[in-house]
Amino acid sequence: MLSPLKLLGSISVIFFYLYDTPPALADNLLLKNGDRLSGSIISFSDGLCIFDTHYGSAVRVPTTDILAIGSNTPYTLLFASGEKATGQLKATTDNRTLLESATFGTTPVDVSQIVSLARFRPSGPLMQENTKAGASDHRYGEDQPAQPPLDFLTGSTVLLPPGEHELDLGLAYKQSRIQYGLPQAGHFQRSSYSARQLELRPTLRTGLQRHLEAYLSLPLTYSHVQDISGNEFVRKADAWRLADIALGVQYQIVEEDADTPAIALSLDINIPTGQKRYNDVFNSWKDPLNNGSGHWSLTPGIAFVRSTDPAILFGGVGYQYSFARTLDGYHIKPGWVLKGYAGVGFALNERLSLGGRLSYAYSANLRADHQTIHGSDADPLELSFSAAYRLSEDWVVSPEISLGLNDEAGPAALSTHFKRRFN
């Protein structure tokens, strides 16, 4: 898995060499082949340690190759069991690792069970005294456990460790309008048709265990449609409704290393709680009030993530199967959908990241009353751009714009996500 700590490590190496005075050598690694490394742990997460020796580029060490760790810097440790501890790691003469913690005392730890290390930043009176003393060698972000917000990777890999949760408050808006003049009815009169939709999509994601996370999304929409044939004839309709509930799981089967990308499998389920009407010709102007598919569906998928400094490449494919259902007196069987996407993202620093994605899907013809409706297939093409900014240690804001590149992709959409992580 491509971890935020790994990317922060790559960026931090560049900043370390921009300063005249390098940080003190505080960390030591003993490898299983007998090698010893002295320097600084930049990141330690999900099977990969990025270690700065100050003699060149950072060294990438698989955590499975590490026998023991020693440091005079306090770290917060996350174990594979989901437990956390804070303290200093000490390497013994018999190549064991001890954790010296105010809570647990001196305890031996198994390095192979450590999922991640984050440099501990103290708070309270002690931190205030150090600030007043004025440590001139303190650099912005050096001791912060903050990680780059990699929101553009959501859905492409597992981002949450065990026991951590994320609440995503998404807000999206899209609209379309067709308008032309009516000279025969008066110079100022217009004929127009407009549709608008505002969607609030709260989503809860949770890390179930290492390499496994799940999500549940409960969207609510406000839809408004207005059909104007002139001042003498105006009709409109609007509605607040619950849209389709979505839930799913994602499991990372391959961790990224020097030769292979991170690979994750996913399964998404759509529950038809939204409205879906097949209106007759006289009421077809109300079609934009639909905010659901009307059908249960399953979508298995596979996605990859690959880091190629300074960029992160990601993409995936999925196959959606929808179940038949009787709606408005018709027996409807939607066509299968094959969809894929590819994108690139950049973590500019520990607070800001940018991403772009190109998405394509092909939807086969639907069947109505057991008859194939030719020409009902579609292949929307969409391009989206997003940014993510860390407001604080727990909150991230992520605006996004999606542009339909053909008629079947629909109008442009603006969205903003406010995300908060908690244990």
How much is the pLDDT for 104?
Answer: 62
Instruction: Report the C-alpha gap between 174 and 5 in whole angstroms.
Output: 35
Give percent of the chain with pLDDT exceeding 90.
48
Do 136 and 375 form a contact (C-beta atoms < 8 A)?
no
Look-up of token digits 């059909």: 227
DSSP class of residue 231 equals T
Which residues 6+ apart lie within 8 Å of 250 measured at CB? Answer: 155, 157, 158, 212, 213, 214, 264, 265, 266
How much is the pLDDT for 54?
Answer: 58
Instruction: Report the C-alpha gap between 222 and 399 in whole angstroms.
Output: 20
**pLDDT above 70: residue 133:** no
**pLDDT above 80: residue 34:** yes
Give percent of the chain with pLDDT exceeding 70.
85
**pLDDT above 90: residue 75:** no
Pick from 114, 200, 202: which is nearest to 165 by CA?
202
Pick from 200, 294, 181, 302: which is nearest to 253 by CA?
302
Name the more confident of 9 and 113. 113
Q: pLDDT digits over 355-405, tens only? A: 999 999 999 999 999 999 999 999 999 999 999 999 988 899 999 999 999
- Band of pLDDT at residue 273, cut at 50, 70 and 90: very high
Give the C-alpha distances (Å, rounded to integers) separating 314 from 72, 153, 238, 247, 261.
37, 7, 38, 22, 9
Average pLDDT over residues 175-195: 81
Q: Where in the chain is the domain with CATH 2.40.128.130?
A: 151-422
- Band of pLDDT at residue 200, cut at 50, 70 and 90: very high
Q: pLDDT digits over 211-268, tens only? A: 999 999 999 999 999 998 887 789 999 999 999 999 999 999 988 877 788 999 999 9
How much is the pLDDT for 102?
Answer: 67
Give the C-alpha distances (Å, rounded to integers) separating 71 from 41, 116, 369.
9, 15, 70
Q: Is 208 helix (H, G, I), strand (E, B) or coil?
A: strand
How much is the pLDDT for 1?
Answer: 42
How much is the pLDDT for 139?
Answer: 31
Q: Where in the chain is the domain with CATH 2.30.30.100?
A: 4-133
Q: Please tell me the CATH superfamily of domain 151-422, with its number.
A: Autotransporter beta-domain (2.40.128.130)
Q: Which of 15-29, 74-88, 290-304, 346-360 has the lowest mean pLDDT?
A: 15-29
**pLDDT above 80: residue 310:** no
**pLDDT above 90: residue 38:** no
- Band of pLDDT at residue 173, cut at 50, 70 and 90: very high
Do 357 and 319 form a contact (C-beta atoms < 8 A)?
no
Question: Highest-confidence range of 74-78, 124-128, 303-307, 355-359, by mean pLDDT?
Answer: 355-359
**pLDDT above 90: residue 295:** yes
Please give the model's pTM, rounded to 2 decimal places. 0.66
- Band of pLDDT at residue 277, cut at 50, 70 and 90: very high
Name the more confident of 74 and 103. 74
Q: Which of 17-21, 280-284, 317-321, 336-340 has the lowest mean pLDDT?
A: 17-21
Average pLDDT over residues 152-174: 92
Give the C-alpha distances (Å, rounded to integers) separating 233 from 183, 189, 236, 399.
16, 11, 10, 38
Question: What's domain 4-133's architecture?
Answer: Roll (2.30)
**pLDDT above 80: residue 15:** no
**pLDDT above 70: residue 347:** yes
Distance of CA 316 to the CA centre of its chain: 14
Pick from 243, 159, 255, 257: which is nearest to 201 by CA?
243
How much is the pLDDT for 363?
Answer: 96
- Angle, CA 127 vertex, CA 121 and CA 132 arms, to 5°: 135
Give rounded-to-5 percent helix, strand, coil for the chain.
10, 55, 35
